[in-house]
């Protein structure tokens, strides 16, 4: 059985890496300080990455309000379920809101209509 990550965690790590890439790209501008055009390009690219991650973070916020909070049967912690099936954020236990899917192996396809 493949390992899946909670959707919210996945999006969050994507946003985090965007911030990181943004800073690295902006840092790269230092190496081209003799060329103002390149510096400008690098700094704007870095800014775009950081703005993008802010947008993704806002999106996570919106998703979190739509997600259903449940107590995970595996570890007893409160976790959020997004869509029909999701994975516990703490112990990777499969969670479902649909009784007909209970006990079945996790499949991302269940979230599609
Ligand atoms: Zn759990």
pTM equals 0.64
CA of 56 to the centre of ligand 1 (A): 25
Question: Taking Cα atoms as reference points, which of 66, 60, 70 lies closest to residue 96?
Answer: 70
- pLDDT of 21 above 70: yes
CA of 64 to the centre of ligand 1 (A): 17
CA of 5 to the centre of ligand 1 (A): 12
CA of 11 to the centre of ligand 1 (A): 18
CA of 27 to the centre of ligand 1 (A): 39
CA of 93 to the centre of ligand 1 (A): 5
Q: How confident is the model at residue 25 (pLDDT cuts 50, 70, 90)?
A: very high
With contact defined as beta carbons under 8 Å apart, do 29 and 38 qualify? yes
Question: Taking Cα atoms as reference points, which of 86, 31, 45 lies closest to residue 64?
Answer: 86
């Amino acid at each position: 059985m493949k390992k899946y990550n909670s959707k919210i965690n996945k999006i969050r790590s994507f946003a985090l890496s965007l911030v990181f890439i943004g800073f690295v790209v902006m840092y790269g501008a230092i190496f081209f300080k003799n060329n103002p055009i390149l510096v400008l390009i690098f700094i704007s690219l870095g800014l775009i990455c950081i703005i993008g991650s802010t947008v993704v973070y806002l999106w996570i916020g919106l998703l979190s309000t739509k997600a259903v909070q449940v107590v995970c049967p595996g570890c007893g912690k409160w976790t959020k379920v997004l869509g029909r099936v999701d994975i516990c954020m703490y112990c990777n236990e499969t969670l479902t809101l649909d009784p007909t899917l209970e006990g079945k192996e996790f499949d991302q396809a269940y979230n599609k209509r």
